[in-house]
Structure 1
Amino acid sequence: MLMQAKISADEQDSGGPAAAPPRTFTEAARRAQIVDAAIEVIADEGYAKATYARIARRAGLSSTGMISYHFAGKADLMREVVAEVMRVADGYMRPRIEAQPTAAGRLRAHIESNLELLGAHPKHLPALLQVLAQARGDEPWQQEFAAEMGGLVDRVAEALARAQEAGEFGDFDPWVMAMAIRGAVDAVVSRVAGGAAIDVAACGRELADLFDRATRKA
C-alpha cells in the first residue's frame, strides 16, 4: 500500500544495442536541477504556466536551450517530473509502511506518511496533482500517466482485499475504499496547494482514524 515510482525509460535501459550511453555526473546533475525547477514552477504557478522560460529562470539557466538539450520535449520532461515525485514518495513512505506488522498499521502508515510527505516536500505532491489534471488527453505521456495513477489505486485495493482475505479487515468494496482514501489525501493536497493553512500531520492522523474505523471488522 504505497506510492511506487514508475521507472523512467532511461532507468529501464540496462544494455543492448538500444541502450543510451551513460550520462556524466554533470549531465545527471543538470537534469536533476531542471526537474526540480519544473516541480517548483508547476506547484507554484500551475502546469499551464510551466514554460521552458520560467523553468530555466527557476533553475538559474541562461537559456532554454539547456532544457532542450537534456529533454526531447515537454512530455519527456513531465515524465521525469512524475518519476522524480514518485521516487521521493516511495523512498519516504515505503520504510514507514513496511515497518508495520499489521494491515491496519500499514494502512495508517500509508495515509499518515502520504500527508507527512506533503510537509517534508511541499512542492512535490501539488506538482503531481497539476500534472494529473493534464492526464486526460490523447498524448501518449498523458495516457501513460493516467494508467500509472490508476495502477496506484488498484495496488491499494489489492492490499485491502488481501487483508480482508486474511481476516484483518471487515466487509467493504476494496476498490471503493481505495478510491476514497486516494480522494481524501488528494483533497488535502489540493487545499494546501491553494494556500490553506493546514496541519498536515494532524490531518493525516484524523484521516487514518477515520479509515481505521471504516475498515475494521465489526
Structure 2
Amino acid sequence: MGRTFTESGRRAQIVQVAIEVVAEQGYAKASFSRIAKQAGLSSTGMISYHFAGKDDLMHEVVAEVTRVTGAFMAPRVGAAEGARARLRAFVEANVELLAVWPRHLKALIEVLPNLGGDDPATVGYNASLQLLMDGQEQAVRQAQEAGEFREFDPRLMLVALRGAVDAVVMRWVGDPAFDVTAAGRELADIFDRATRAEP
C-alpha cells in the first residue's frame, strides 16, 4: 500500500530538515533527536516511523540531493546548442550549485564519506557518476568527430574537469565567501580553451 499524502509530506519534511542539520552540524551530530527538534516534531518516533535508522534516512538525503542537483543542471545543459556551449553550461551549472543549493551540497559532502564505500547509497551515487561520465565521454568523441573539439583523450579530460570542479567545491567549503559564480566562468573558459578545435 502506498503512502498517504500526509505521510509523504512528513517524510519529505524530515529529509529536508536532515539535510539542514547535516549541513550545519555535520554528520556525527545529526541525531534523530536533533532532527526532530529542528523539525518541530514531538518525538523521534515520527522519524523512526518513516526511516529504519540513520543510514536509511541518509540514503534518502543522498537521493534527494541527487534529484535536486540533476533537476537544476539538466535544463541548463540541455538548452545549450553545440558542444562548446554544452561544456560551458555543464561547468558553470556544476559550480553554480554551490550558490543555489549550498546546504544540499554540504550535506552530500558530509554524508557520502560516512556511509562508507560499500554502502548501497554510496555505490549507487558512484554508479550514477560513472554512467554520467560514460555518456559525457561519448558526447566528447562525437564532438571531436564533428570537428567541434580538438583531438585529446576524452576520459582524461573529463577526469581533469571533475577534479577541477571538486577543487572549487573544497575551496568553497573552506571559504564560504568564495565567489563561485566567477570561479565557474573562469573554469569554463579554461576548459573551453583546452578542448576547442583550432581555427
What is the TM-score with the length of structure 1 in the denominator?
A: 0.82
Match for 1:175 among 155, 178, 189?
A: 155
Match for 2:123 among 120, 124, 143?
A: 143
CA distances 1:41-97 after superposition (whole Å, capped 9, x unpaired): 222222222222222222222221111111122232222112211211122111111
Are the structure 2 counterparts of residues 187 and 211 from structure 1 closer, same or farther at C-alpha, using a change threshold of 3 Å? same
CA contact (8 A) 2:95 2:165 kept: yes
Match for 1:80 among 48, 53, 60?
A: 60
Task: Name 1:190's counterpart in structure 2.
Answer: 170
**Partners of 1:141 and 1:91 in 2: how far apart?**
19
1:133 alignment partner, SS class: helix
Residue 54 (1) aligns with residue 38 (2) = no
CA contact (8 A) 1:43 1:193 kept: no
CA contact (8 A) 1:112 1:205 kept: yes
1:49 alignment partner, SS class: coil
Are the structure 2 counterparts of residues 181 and 120 from structure 1 closer, same or farther at C-alpha, using a change threshold of 3 Å? same
Identity among equivalent positions (%) equals 59
Q: CA deviation at 1:135?
A: 5.3
**Partners of 1:195 and 1:60 in 2: how far apart?**
31
Are the structure 2 counterparts of residues 85 and 63 from structure 1 closer, same or farther at C-alpha, using a change threshold of 3 Å? same
Q: CA deviation at 1:124?
A: 1.1
Amino acid at match of 2:108: L
1:47 alignment partner, SS class: coil
Q: CA deviation at 1:136?
A: 4.0
Structure 1 gaps of 5+ residues are 1-20
Are the structure 2 counterparts of residues 176 and 53 from structure 1 closer, same or farther at C-alpha, using a change threshold of 3 Å? farther
Task: Report the structure, 1 or 2, having the larger helix content.
Answer: 2
Spell out the pairing of 1:65-104 with structure 2 (5 A cutoff): 65-104=45-84
What is the TM-score with the length of structure 2 in the denominator?
A: 0.89
**Partners of 1:57 and 1:149 in 2: how far apart?**
34
Spell out the pairing of 1:1-218 with structure 2 (5 A cutoff): 21-134=1-114, 136-218=116-198
Q: CA deviation at 1:115?
A: 1.7
